[in-house]
Amino acid sequence: MASLSPEERTALRDGFARLLADRCTEKDVRRTMETASGYDPALWGQIAAMGVTGLLVDEAHGGAGAGPLELEAVMEAAGAALLGSPLLSSAVLAATLLAAAGDEAAKARLLPGIADGSLIATLALTGDAGTWTPEGMAVTAAPAGNGWTLDGHASFVTDGQTADRVLVAANGPGGLALFEVEREASGLDTAALPTFDHTLRMARLTFDKVAAQKLDATGPAWDAVQAALNMGLVALAGEQAGGARRVLEMTVDYAKSRIQFGRPIGSFQAIKHMAADLLLESESATSAARNAARALAENAPDAKAAIALAAFACADAYATTTATAIQMHGGIAFTWDHPAHLYLRRARAGAQLFGNSNHYRERYLQALEAQA
């Protein structure tokens, strides 16, 4: 993977942040979250033109060939702006799964479209259990003629209602395998799920003898899934760190300008001390997210621990920050028209996506035990 220099990475993040500051304002977020697709196609085109959708795709398939460090940096900006888009589903999860599975034909078929944003793909990895573990999957595969058919269901499929292609992990006669399904495939029923985070799109997919193309994976299928989840967790951690920092900034600004008892509420230690504690939360989240990106980029021995740490530390820091921010604002943040609850909703969603904090604390501990 061609990593950018720290300066180039900063420039990429800043350029992306400027685009979002211009085109993904709170007003834009609110408008977009009311749409069925949950994303703004015009903005999506600009994100693609900047190279962000193709960040992880190799140059042979039309991407930038960058890695986790670059991804984490842009996701901090995405999180700060509360961007609603299929970036995580398509450009992160699907792109990584395809690269890791190593099916050259599938890569040639799908990666160029993912890279230029013209094709949206996503992963179906868990059933109603919502565990994102091998045990949680509820799709089975059976051979049919020259191909395969899928039966069962997949839930919490991010952007499942908008994806052109769904990459499905399913149990077949030979164990776990990966399959590609077209959105219009016969027997596939896609039901949009009502999400608490209105900027997030999820669907439940029901498979009834759905024709599917098997990916010719070069290694165990779960390894490719784990690679995609690892990249997804780094992206999510970056988004959470960026979101936490933005919410703290908003809250500190408010504490400086809101006057009660004849003085700014930020001069009261009751508020000031909460802000100081949140600074520690958001800085620690930033450190954890960047450390996970570093470890994954280097394929370091501590990568498993670093990713698990970021998974729960960033999720918890974001949840704490957004919840405390509402309390610090007081009544104004209890209104729908104030953005604080939008961030809280995103934080609560991220805290469940791909496994919750208890799950990742256990994984972190297992990794430490293995290191010791």
Partner 1 sequence: MTDNQLRDEVRAWLADNWNPEERAGFLAKVVEARWAAPRWPVEWFGRGLDDTQARIIEREFAAVGAPGTAQDRTNLWANTVLAKGTEALKHQLVGRLLRNEVGMCLLYSEPGAGSDLAGIRTRADRSGDGWVVNGQKVWTSSAATADYGMLIARTDWDVPKHRGISFFFLPMKQPGVEVRPLRQITNEAHFNEVFITDAAVPPDNLLGREGEGWSVLQTALAYERSVMGEAARGPRSGAKEAGGAAPMVALAREAGVLADPLIRQDLARVTALRQLNALNTARAKADLGQGTSSSLMSLGKLAMSRILHEEARLRTAMLGAGSLLEGPDHPRAEDANFLSLNAYFTSIGGGTDQIQRNIIGERVLGLPKEPEVDRDVAFREVRGG
The footprint of partner 1 (CB under 8 A) covers 252, 255-256, 263-264, 266-269, 271-273, 275-277, 279-280, 283-284, 286-288, 290-291, 309, 312-313, 358, 361-362, 364-365, 368-369, 371-372
Tokens of 213: 């193309």
Of 94 and 305, nearer to partner 1 (C-beta) is: 305
Torsion angle of the four alpha carbons 103, 112, 95, 314, in this order, in degrees rounded to the nearest 10? 170
**At closest approach, how far in Å is the CB of 344 from partner 1?**
21
Q: What is the largest CA-CA distance in the chain?
A: 78
Rounded to the nearest whole angstrom, what is the least distance from the CB of residue 310 to partner 1 in the complex?
10
- Residue pair 147/209 in contact (Cβ under 8 Å)? The answer is no
| Shortest Å distance, C-beta 281 to partner 1 | 10
Cβ proximity to partner 1, 36 vs 372, nearer residue: 372
Would you say 89 or 286 has its CB closer to partner 1? 286
What whole-number distance in Å separates Cα of residue 202 and Cα of residue 350?
A: 13
Q: Which is nearer to partner 1, 220 or 330 (CB)?
A: 330
Q: How far is CA 41 from the centre of its chain?
A: 19
CB of 348 to partner 1, least distance (A): 19
Comparing CB distances to partner 1, the nearer of 18 and 263 is 263
The DSSP code for 332 is G
Report, in this order, helix, strand and coil percent for the chain, each rounded to 5: 55, 15, 25
Shortest distance (Å) from residue 302 CB to partner 1:
8
The residue among 146 and 358 lying less far from partner 1, judged by its C-beta, is: 358
* Minimum CB distance to partner 1, residue 316 (Å): 9
* 3 state SS of 72: helix
H or E element that contains 54:
none
Tell me how far apart the alpha carbons of residues 48 and 70 are, in angstroms, rounded to a whole number: 15
